[in-house]
Structure 1
Amino acid sequence: MFFFIPYGTDRPARSFPFITYTLIAINVIVFAWQYGVSNSDAVMDRYAFIPNQLNGMSWFTYMFLHGGLSHLAGNMLYLWLFGCALECALGWWIFLPTYLLSGCVAMMLHYSIVMATDPVGANTHLVGASGAIAGLLGMYALRFYQTRIRMWYFVFLLFFIRWGKFEIGSVWFIAIWIAQQIFGAAMSAWSPDVGSHIAYWTHIGGFGLGMLYALLINLQSEGKSEYVLADAVYALDRQDYRRALQLSGEVVKREPANSEARLVHVRSGMHTRPFEDFIPEYESLMKDSLQKHNLELAQALYTELESLYPTNGMDSRLRLAIATCLAQLGDHAGAVRVLQRIIQEAPNSAEAETATLRYAQLLIEQLGRPKEAADALRHFVVRYPNSQWKDFAEQLLAKARQAMRK
């Protein structure tokens, strides 16, 4: 006797998979209700799918019922194992409809096969989330084809007992699983009494829909980009800059909006080509980071660019946005240095007026340097006599003078 049970993967979810956990909770709650009511058989008759007795919404409700605790536990394990990463990769708005549609298509294939070949099965209740989960496996096989599945095994033969852990590639794991379903379906067709308690065609139908949909939305290309990018990051860490540049370039060509790939591309490229060639890309990445409110990345990119190429001639509008970013992150001294560069290097720009006010305000309110602020504000009043911010500048100047008297 032996058991093989998957318990995890090397691909953790990148965000909280709310829909996956919600589906698990719904299935558990329905199971508790299903076996907690006085007449559970009536629940099965009403909400399970019976091919010979098409009943209301049973084509949908059947996937939330289960035939026992082990049935529920096995399905929820697979839903958790494969659903978490898929939901994070696809987004819940694709994940949830695909899950439900897989369950419905799985039921339709089961109905077609059973009605044509299995009179006994046509009067049997169909329950379980496995058809919907099979759709997830079909998508997972293409999207996460390099993922490793962590397995626990237990072997018991007379006096020989062994247990432990091992890993297997996701493609091999899923290939073995679907082969078991096809074999079971063939045996059921050959002899309806063999394996009739397992709806193999439901699994095959859900799996087929999931794989077909993954092919239609080119999900395997997204998976390839992720793995190629991981190789590029590894090459960059090992200072193999040419390979990192080549691999990240492949991803950027396929996905121009992939910020992570562009970042690896520019960081590896500056070691193999003139750095000036990559300044526009640095600035573009900073703009993207600011638009996505990824302030930490914008700060890191700016610091990196300034340290490598101080005379980069950055656009004053972008520099002003970076100053705001640094101030929001609490780096007030850094924000002041950026604002000072705008004032000195682009005194005639539209941003210099705003930069002078923000510069003075930070000096007064955050850094306790009112004398420097007062000098900047006196310069502001002289240079911008008709500014719409003149009253505000005079208020700041009065505040600076008051602080200087203390």
Structure 2
Amino acid sequence: MATNSDARTGPITLLSLGHGCVDVYQGAVAALVPFLVTERAYTYAAASGVVLAASLLSSVVQPMFGALTDRWAMPWLLPVSTLAGGAGVALAGVSGSYALTLAVIAISGIGVAAYHPEAARVARDASRGSHTAMGWFSLGGNLGFAAAPPMVAAVIATGGLRASPLLIVPALAGAVLCAAALRGVAASAAAEPGAVRVSRAGAMDDWPSFARLSGAIVCRSIVFVGLSAFISLYVRERTGGGAASGTAALFVLYLGGAVGTVTGGALATRHGRLSVVRWSYALTVLAVAGVVLVPGPALYAFVALTSAGLYVPFSLHVTLGQDYLPRRVGVAGGVTLGLTVSIGGIASPFIGAVADVTSLQTALAPLIALPVLGWLLVRPLREPAMLEAAPA
């Protein structure tokens, strides 16, 4: 017989695993870039355009899905959007057409966009607003990011870009996990009819604070997406290594996020969310400077430090955003998990264009300043007012 604890933790575990299967496809787009450059002779600007295709439509539609999920529960979006996200990436290598590649990658981006607002809402309800539980939910996504480079490398290095249909497998698994998680959430509600949940009645939305937080996340996103798109190629240049050295750097960038996300939830419980967020942005300034300026194998240490600095506040951004907009949790999730994250991809073509006429090091250097701006934006923020608990 399942205990009450099992009824609570089971759905979060399944949601975390499903989140990982979805975010594989966010990491897979960047992981495909070196293979597109090598096999199709894309320029840096053309390759970054693929990253933009995954981000642009996603940036626009994600808040729209958030607004819809604030009005109506749409749990069916979780398995459907997971399949859409996987299908787009799986079709990316089927045709040599640049236009078709952009189109299917855009479909993948829309699938990922549709997933996150509803998933964040379901996870918030399943976790009862726990920072630690939301950290585990975010961890799943980070592990998906980390799994993308070796997964893509294993598939594409073996069969070339035309082997990309094999990349649909995580989406199939994710759809099954999402369906199981939704059943678990329903079972949890039935098992604990007297549970408490956060009440949004009478709560006020704090749009100015949410706007400052969103601006900081945009700064974080540009750094992360810019490094994701080019760190593999950059490390090859700086270390003189081959494809494996670049894939290893991208893996470190993503895997460090898994450690950072869990650490962020624990640190926030002890020191407060905003204090942890501010220190993370300060750390990221030094870490990104090391990535850009330090040569040789030491680069990997700074990549890991950058990953930690970018990911420690990741789940805290989500819960802060939801608490600043308690009446619009779906919109908050759509923006913090989607719009502000995806919009970083818009900067990628500019980085690629600068790299084409100068060098990757010169193109990546401005990323050092963005965590400074993020720190300035979050510095005056105050912890959202605690909301009342009401019977579920």
TM-score > 0.5 by shorter chain: no
Structure with the bigger percentage of helix: 2
TM-score range, shorter chain: under 0.3
TM-score, scaled to structure 1: 0.24
TM-score, scaled to structure 2: 0.24
Structure with the bigger percentage of strand: 1
Which entry has the higher C-alpha Rg, 1 or 2?
1
